Structure 1
Amino acid sequence: MTTKAFEALACPLDGEPLYRESSSWRCANGHNFDVARQGYVHLLPVQKKRSKDPGDSKEMVAARQRFLGAGYYQPIAEAVSAAVLKDVSEGSHLDCLDAGCGEGYYLRQLASAAGGRVSLAVLGLDISKWAVLAAARKDRAPSWVVGSNANLPVQPASLDRVLCTFGFPVYSEFARVLKPGGKLIQVDAGQDHLRELREIIYPQVRAESKKVDEVPEGFRRVETQDLRFTLHLEGAEPIADLLAMTPHLYRASAEGRARAAQLDSISLTVDVCLQTFERYAPAG
């Protein structure tokens, strides 16, 4: 496979292009960002953090690594990769960002799906330093960045694809960094997603979907795909890992978490919506 680092990074302080010099990234105004020995760079300024250690904890990242590594969400990864590569001719090049990359699972699956047919310049960004550290340790080929979707450290109109999988989309930023005709591939939970688990941990389950109904400004909807399958988990560890990698871990009461901890098997509905949006070319 042909996968390399994405290099059109921008300074998170002034938006100026960043240039790699040895073991650091610098902008023309003298701002300097060192590359960690594990291969990632921290581009989330202290003044733009909402907490001391934002994003997923070290424990949540480890749980996600185990769960995704076991292949439970492989159908979702395959659908995401297919959407990214759809209508891309052999020998093409794509600049790709995973906005909320976690430990890099979906980008690694994309690189595998592309094989040698399409070359990729890849950037994985997450607000959690633990997630980015785990991703960088697994694969040093892409660019890995600690950063925020609210202030993407990426030069304007430099990306062909943006992935946002169970993440926090900031459409104005996605529109800014995508090239005209570039595509946003977004995955959100449907109303029945993990319903069986939610019925155990919550006293009442609301029928709600995170599916995006309105088309974001600057985009047009290209395709919508509903993906639904049954997932059977055997053993306490994968059940605990699934709960730990979702927001339900904090939303559930202590009693709800205790009920989940007593499970030794469960069959779950996976219900997600994958949507592809295309960036409009600017007028004129």
Structure 2
Amino acid sequence: MFTLNCPICAQPLLCDNSHRSWRCDNGHSFDVAKQGYVNLLPVQNKRSKDPGDSKAMVQARAEFLRAKYYQPLADKIAQVVLNGKPQTLLDAGCGEGYYLRELLAQADLRQQSLNCVGLDISKWAVLSAAKQAAATLSASTQEPRVTWLVASNSQIPLPTDSVDTLLCLFGFPVSAEFKRVLKPGGRLIMVDPASEHLLELKQIIYPQVNSKPEQLPVPADTWQLADEQRLTFALEITEREHIQHLLTMTPHLYRASSEGRARAAALEHITVTADMWVRTFVSVD
């Protein structure tokens, strides 16, 4: 189990013997929810009442990923992560936990031990991740494999120099915090959309698709690019419900006009390009 820091005073948090709450020496206490996660995002640190992905977005993503459309990406992430043989890992922006579950399954096959934290600012995402993880525990004596946290990348409640590998998958990197929690020699692994990602869907929902210049997601004076791989594959989606899940789980649902959403809702099948950059960075000392 990871050591956690109090989000209010940054002092170490200790878990009680019942594993039902975390408490620091200053008396700040955080209960473990019945689903197995702990909320370390105090109300004063929230920028909105319900930050992060909505319940609907989380449910749509869970259904879409359960159909294995993004399995090639899950396999690539596991390959890149586990080839580095990390002992500790933080998934910063873990969503509903799909990629972390797939990663742990691959670690089991390789007989590699991995101590993980899954963190997301959306309580709905972490609740879903923790529930699915708890369902895989076949015996009450088994320890949870991941520490699930509602928290922000801007204030990661982990000690300095505490993780070997940090994942940020389609997320929002906070360079200073990422650098702080990574051990010396640790790796930052990021997945970001490439230029053709979901192009066919965007051509349907937008009147015009503008290309944007691609750039690295973290500053070059802080991070050195150690490895870069482009992963491209086709998604053939033949169920209308799955097309709607794909749209709902992305920011495009809110960016598209009502006319664009209506055109997507009328689709019965579509072939879409998945196009991503999988990059590994190391900190510049």
TM range (shorter): over 0.9
Counterpart CA distance in 1 for 2:213 and 2:127 is 31
CA deviation profile, 1:55-108 (whole Å, cap 9, x unmatched): 1111111111110011000111111111111242xxxx6111110000000100
Counterpart CA distance in 1 for 2:15 and 2:165 is 23
Task: Return 5+ residue gaps in structure 2 as ranges.
Answer: 135-143
Measure how far apart 1:161 and its partner are.
Answer: 0.8
What is the percent sequence identity of the aligned residues? 53
1:200 is aligned to 204
Aligned with 1:75: secondary structure? Answer: helix
Measure how far apart 1:199 and its partner are.
Answer: 0.5
Q: Is the Cα–Cα contact under 8 Å of residues 189 and 211 in structure 1 kept in the other structure?
A: no
Q: Is the Cα–Cα contact under 8 Å of residues 173 and 217 in structure 2 kept in the other structure?
A: no
Aligned with 2:233: secondary structure? Answer: strand
Measure how far apart 1:7 and its partner are.
Answer: 1.6
Instruction: Tell me how many residue pairs correspond in the alignment.
Output: 272
Measure how far apart 1:155 and its partner are.
Answer: 0.8
1:111 is aligned to 104
Counterpart CA distance in 2 for 1:98 and 1:223 is 19
Q: Is the Cα–Cα contact under 8 Å of residues 211 and 273 in structure 1 kept in the other structure?
A: no
Task: Return 5+ residue gaps in structure 1 as ranges.
Answer: 1-5
Counterpart CA distance in 2 for 1:249 and 1:29 is 44
Amino acid in the other structure paired with 1:136? A
Counterpart CA distance in 2 for 1:185 and 1:49 is 26
Give matches, 1:138-153, under 5 Å: 138-140=132-134, 141=144, 142-153=146-157
Measure how far apart 1:14 and its partner are.
Answer: 1.5
RMSD: 1.4
Give matches, 1:61-210, under 5 Å: 61-88=58-85, 94-115=87-108, 117-140=111-134, 141=144, 142-208=146-212
Q: Is the Cα–Cα contact under 8 Å of residues 41 and 145 in structure 1 kept in the other structure?
A: yes
Aligned with 2:7: secondary structure? Answer: coil
CA deviation profile, 1:16-48 (whole Å, cap 9, x unmatched): 111101311111211111111111000001011
Amino acid in the other structure paired with 1:98? D
Measure how far apart 1:210 and its partner are.
Answer: 5.8
Q: Is the Cα–Cα contact under 8 Å of residues 10 and 153 in structure 1 kept in the other structure?
A: yes
1:262 aligns with 2:257: no
Counterpart CA distance in 1 for 2:123 and 2:65 is 19
Moved over 6 A (4+): none
Structure-1-length-normalised TM-score: 0.92
Q: Which residue, 31, 38, 41 being the options, matches 1:41?
A: 38
Counterpart CA distance in 2 for 1:249 and 1:189 is 16
Amino acid in the other structure paired with 1:198? K
Amino acid in the other structure paired with 2:264? A
Q: Which residue, 39, 52, 67 being the options, matches 1:55?
A: 52
